[in-house]
A and B are shown apart, each in its own frame.
Chain A
């Protein structure tokens, strides 16, 4: 088996037994990137020298048996919305094309302390705004399963990289499906943790109330390993959770028999592609065979989730992007003669259309006279969304839903109508306003393209998600499929 096809668990075992070195592993992945990334476009920056140096250090740790963790020596990539000290971070935008962060994101720091090896930065929709990675200012990423299709977004580069064997895992960002949608489109596992479970310090903010950092991996077991390292309270993030981080691996193997699987009726309505629906139904039967109790539940405010999500997102994003004014970082608009000109040159020329649209909508909905009817109203309905989940979890342990009504669509297919693009997020957007964790994992194929499903649990119950997801992966093979990428 090619080294790049291994899971973290498999690679760790080989490293631990000194059958391979981190250096070999890293070189294999750098080679893989050279081989396929020209077609896929997952990487914006490849940190070859840094990676090799970190691999050598990891090998030293492994050799001495010192501070060895499951991630020591394992190469990974990071969505380019997460800052990496000394390594260019663009957030998919021309404005940050040359920005080199002077500090490290906490999640990245924790991974490097654990001995993981940084391969590079992954492509994304500009400022994480989009569902297909087509909004990247640089180039779109292509789905390894069909290069004419999108990998999903906004963490499209990360999902594609994991799927194509260009890294063992990736750190992505999920504000309203940005880890889960690409995970489903690319046949990998993607976790949106509970809001606050992983520090946001270093995540270039989109919607501060919804943003999360989470892992994209080949298996649920791998995702648990990564979360174990990056989760936990951070003094730099006042919204990070104080609750201690459980031992995820310890709970992974627990049997799921008797656990209650809820199917929210509002999520299983006509509109899904036939192939997607079929895969979901098969997954439900699979959980039944595992001994889980299936029951229908209701999340009655689901029809309002999209409006709640986008209203609050636009408002917070418009403020979060105000700092990109060309003064302290950004492309030099040196010909600007006045301050207004500086702002206009930087922002008018530096932001793409989707970003501008969202900023304007956000400003409008916050403006005098509209705050109550829009932003405040959305925050109240958001409470109702939260309560929906709380009530549902009184009668079940995890929820199962689709990730997307369809499989990966073609590049260019949805770019004409922004509202249509928003509406395709329908299954994904309720979780972030509610703060609950959600796991996307492969559950089948439709016309050769991956189908993913979503498991949702209560606040802080990632362990349960892993448990159920892992049980599913013990009895299915979808996650083991690899795209046939030509050489």
Chain B
């Protein structure tokens, strides 16, 4: 049961780039397009493997219930945090105004 992916086109490349906030130029998108398609085509070979009753690896037996006791501890100082923040205002991190709800 083959399931080769539908080839990407330039619109899809831009769409994906927007999903992950990458802002590609038209040149970049055009350069990426054949590369991405070649790689996705390569992935298609996995379809020939029979995985009918094979569990995904993240559900295999192994470690379970790695838990932390509910004890608060001191963390990081605001100074240490803000020292890497590109734009801060007083005690806060500052960004351009958010226009819409998440």
Contacts and interface: CB of A to CB of B under 8 A. Distances in A.
Asked if chains A and B are in direct contact (CB within 8 A), the reply is yes
Interface of A: 98-100, 102-103, 196, 209, 235, 238-239, 241-242, 301, 303-304, 306-308, 310-311, 318, 322, 325-334, 336-345, 347-348, 351, 353, 356-357, 359-361, 363-365, 367, 370, 373-374, 376-384, 386, 418-419, 422, 433
19 contacts: A99-B84, A102-B76, A209-B57, A239-B63, A304-B49, A307-B43, A307-B45, A322-B20, A327-B86, A329-B86, A338-B99, A344-B22, A347-B23, A356-B22, A357-B36, A363-B19, A364-B40, A380-B57, A383-B57
Contacts of A209: 57-58
Interface in B52-102: 54-58, 60, 63, 66, 68, 76, 80-81, 83-87, 93, 95-99
Contact of B99 (A339, A347, A363, A382): A339
B38 interface: yes
Contact of B98 (A238, A339, A370): A339
Given A311-B46, A381-B51, A382-B57, A100 B96 contact: no
Nearest to B68: A235
Contacts of A343: 21, 23
Chain B's interface size range is 35 or more
Given A235-B68, A334-B87, A356-B22, A433 B57 contact: yes
Contacts of B45: 303-304, 307
Nearest to A355: B22
B76 A347 contact: no
A318 B20 contact: yes
Contacts of A359: 20, 22
Nearest to B66: A238
Contacts of B9: none
Given A330-B86, A360-B22, A361-B39, A384 B17 contact: no
Given A339-B98, A383-B55, A328 B93 contact: yes
B15 to A, nearest CB: 9
A235 B98 CA distance: 37
Given A338-B99, A348-B22, A360 B49 contact: no
A326 B95 CA distance: 9
Contacts of B46: 304, 307-308, 311, 374, 377-378, 381
A209 B57 CA distance: 10
B84 A102 contact: yes
A364 B63 contact: no
Contact of A373 (B3, B38, B42): B3
Nearest to B41: A419
Given A356-B24, A361-B40, A365-B40, 15 more contacts: A100-B84, A238-B66, A304-B45, A327-B86, A334-B87, A337-B96, A339-B96, A339-B98, A347-B20, A357-B32, A357-B35, A373-B47, A380-B55, A381-B51, A422-B39
A373 B68 CA distance: 35
A188 B63 CA distance: 33
Given A102-B84, A328-B85, A373-B47, A340 B21 contact: yes
Nearest to A351: B22
Nearest to A322: B20
A140 B46 CA distance: 34
A367 B87 contact: no
Contact of A325 (B19, B21, B35, B47): B21
A329 B16 contact: no
A100 to B, nearest CB: 6
Contacts of B26: none
B24 A328 contact: no
B39 A310 contact: yes
A353 B43 CA distance: 20
Contacts of B5: 370, 373
B22 A347 contact: yes
A384 B56 CA distance: 9
Contacts of A345: 23
A301 B50 CA distance: 11
A360 B20 contact: yes
Contact of A333 (B47, B84, B86): B86
A471 to B, nearest CB: 31
B65 to A, nearest CB: 10
B59 to A, nearest CB: 9
B64 to A, nearest CB: 11
Contact of B35 (A196, A303, A304, A419): A419
Contacts of A238: 63, 66
Contacts of A102: 76, 80-81, 83-84
A381 B36 contact: no
A311 B42 CA distance: 10
Given A103-B76, A235-B68, A356-B32, A326 B49 contact: no
Nearest 4 pairs of A and B residues by beta carbon: A348-B23, A344-B23, A379-B56, A332-B86
